[in-house]
Amino acid sequence: MKIISWNVNSVRARITNILDYIKQSNPDILFLQEIKTQDENFPYEDFEKRGYHSYVYGQKSYNGVAILSKSEIKSISKDFIVDDLKQSRIITGEIFLKKKKIELINVYVPNGNPVGTTKYDYKKNWLNKFISSIKKKLMKNSNLLIAGDFNIIPEEIDVYDFRRYENDALGKLEIRKKFRELLNLGFNDIYRLKNKDKQEYTFWDYFAGSWQKNYGMRIDHFLLTNNLIENIKSISINKKPRSMIKPSDHTPIELQIN
């Protein structure tokens, strides 16, 4: 099974690139973040023609998450946490791999910049609520897969120049500690598990030639509970979509799971 996560930075603006990518990569499940559209304006038919069910938690102009899947996903939920600002940032569902019931959690974590503002406070509070909900979920199901745009740089190796981001909401120590707190609940950062010292990125800004200079950062992640590690076949970052015309500033991260 191929499960892919991709912040598309507007599903309608990138629809041609997304459909081309689906044709080439043929995912079983595709997590989308930052779809930037309300549910009623989501391009359901485009994906249905290609054999995908669409599960959408949209929002006008901002945020929004969706799950595309070849097979039906059970127990879709949009209320994993109580969001103070009522932003569309998490959608969850369930699949079965043999006898394992796996909870799928697609997230778009707040950016939080600038530090020292209400946006940064919102990010910290959001992460606290998210971690609390994960703890409760683990008491009911120990098979969890979390993927999406975390807007967190886990380690210095995960950005081209860490000094530039030490006081940024993506790289600030107290935010990275929240990521570590999540891992300590019994999760693995699958890309880093499989690539101990490899420096690859999932995001390149549109400005200052960041893509051409490879001034990127790894902020999109797959976190799986420890008991799912044996099911992992491979994980990779596919840079090709970032090089297309009118690309998202993120690129897909691809997980193969048995």
Which residues are catalytically annotated?
A: 108, 149
Residues 6+ apart with CB under 8 A from 46: 15, 19
Burial class (CB in 10 A: 0-12, 13-18, 19+), 12: middle
Closest to 103 in 3D by CA, of 57, 141, 135: 141
Integer Cα distance of 73 and 194 in angstroms = 28
Integer Cα distance of 198 and 45 in angstroms = 39
Residues 6+ apart with CB under 8 A from 207: none
CB 126 within 8 Å of CB 80: no
CB 12 within 8 Å of CB 37: yes
Could you identify the residue written with the tokens 């999760």? 187
Burial class (CB in 10 A: 0-12, 13-18, 19+), 5: buried
